Chain A
Amino acid sequence: MTEFEPKIIAFVCNWCTYAGADLTGTSRIKYAQNVKIIRFPCTGRIDFMLLLKSFGEGADGIIVSGCHPNDCHYTSGNFHARRRWIMFRGLLDLLGIDVRRIQYSWVSAAEGAKWADIVNSTVNTIRELGPYTEYEKVAGYLEKEANQ
Chain B
Amino acid sequence: MIELINKAKALLESNAVQVVIGYGKGTSNRTRAIFVTQSDDCDKLIFDSRCVQNLAVYLTKSEIKKLGKPAIVAPIPVLRSILELAVENQLTENDIVVLGITPESEIVDFDTFANIEAFLATHKIVIEEKYHEIIRLIKAMPVAERFAYWVKELEPCFKCYACRAACPLCYCTRCTVDDNQPQWISVPSHPLGNLEWHIMRAMHLAGRCTDCEACFNACPMGIPIHLLTKSMLQDVNDNFGSYGPSLEKQNTLSSYKPDDKESFIR
Contact = CB atoms under 8 A, between A and B. Distances in A.
B232 A82 contact: no
Interface in A46-90: 48-49, 52-53, 56, 69-70, 76, 79-80, 82-90
B150 A48 contact: no
B265 A106 contact: yes
Interface in A122-144: 134-135, 138-139, 141-142
Contacts of A52: 196, 199
A29 B148 CA distance: 40
Contacts of B1: none
A103 interface: yes
B266 A96 contact: no
Interface residues on A, range: 35 or more
B131 interface: no
A87 to B, nearest CB: 4
Interface string B187-215: 00011100110011011001100000000
A105 B147 CA distance: 25
A91 B144 contact: no
B119 to A, nearest CB: 28
Nearest to B151: A138
Contact of A86 (B190, B228, B239, B255): B239
B262 interface: yes
Interface in B198-244: 199-200, 202-203, 206-207, 227-228, 231-232, 235-236, 239-240
Given A69-B258, A76-B256, A105-B265, A141 B191 contact: yes
Contacts of A97: 147
In the A-B complex, list the 7 residue pairs whose CB atoms are closest, starting with the nearest. Answer: A96-B146, A96-B147, A79-B256, A90-B235, A105-B266, A104-B265, A87-B206
22 contacts: A49-B200, A53-B184, A79-B257, A82-B256, A82-B265, A83-B260, A84-B203, A86-B260, A86-B262, A87-B207, A87-B235, A90-B239, A94-B135, A94-B138, A94-B228, A96-B145, A104-B266, A105-B266, A134-B144, A134-B148, A138-B192, A141-B191
